[in-house]
Amino acid sequence: MTGPTKNRIGIYPGTFDPITYGHLDLINRALALFDHLIVAVAINPAKVHLFKPEDRRDMILECLPLLEMDDVQRRVEVVVFSGLLAQLAVQRGATAILRGLRAVSDFEFEFQIALTNRALAPSVEAVFLMPNAKYTYLSSTIIKNVAQHGGDVTKFVPPIVVERLARRYAETRNSQG
Ligand code: ADP
């Protein structure tokens, strides 16, 4: 029996401070599973961010063409959100919340969050994806550390982000000095 194909919507939350090749690898993989992907940039007052949420969103948008897929701009939406992710997922009719697993160390925290989200939004599944092995060690935090000390981050983040990191740290240095 054939019926109308369900539009599968995935939601990929994170801080993306800033987006890395690891995040982009995950977005690429998610597009094989979902028709539409919502990348949700979290405003988390408990965390200190280097970039404003709108800047984090803009960097993601600017990096999407690197995925070299004709319809990437149509299928990926980037939103800034605060509040409950489970609520946003239900509001947007998401089939699943997507997260990345880099190492076993990610697992425990992700497991807790996934089960909490399931209690809040039982219709939304949790989907975990592993990046290409060469990106398993990448994290925005480590990249910021390297960039802050003038190290080369060109292997870890797209050129647009390399430039934004350099500019942002120059601003911080100027405002301090
Ligand atoms: P958060 O602060 O919510 O963990 P991040 O921006 O650090 O936000 O990460 C968002 C999601 O992307 C998380 O599920 C994280 O595990 C995943 N992720 C981050 N870096 C990588 C990477 N190098 N490879 C695969 N997944 C990653």
Please name the residue whose Cα sits nearest to atom 16 of ligand 1: 100
- Classify 74 as helix, strand or coil: helix
Ordered by where they begin, the domains of the chain are: 9-136 (3.40.50.620)
Neighbour tally for 80: CB within 10 Å: 13
**From the CA of 2, how far away is ligand 1's center (Å)?**
37
**From the CA of 1, how far away is ligand 1's center (Å)?**
39
**From the CA of 23, how far away is ligand 1's center (Å)?**
6
| pLDDT score, position 23 | 98
| pLDDT score, position 5 | 61
| pLDDT score, position 16 | 98
102 belongs to the catalytic site: yes
140 belongs to the catalytic site: yes
| pLDDT score, position 101 | 94
H or E stretch covering 42: strand 36-42
In sequence order, what are the residues at sequence separation of 6 or more whose Cβ sits closer than 8 angstroms to the Cβ of residue 137?
102
In order along its 177 residues, the chain shows pLDDT tens digits of 444 567 999 999 999 999 999 999 999 999 999 999 999 999 988 889 999 999 999 999 999 999 988 899 999 999 999 999 999 999 999 999 999 999 888 899 999 999 999 999 999 999 999 999 999 999 999 999 999 999 999 999 999 999 999 999 998 888 876
Residue tagged active-site, from 6, 47, 74, 149: 47
**In what side-by-side order are the strands of the sheet with 76-81?**
76-81, 36-42, 9-14, 96-100, 125-129
Contact 16 CB / ligand 1 (< 6 Å): yes
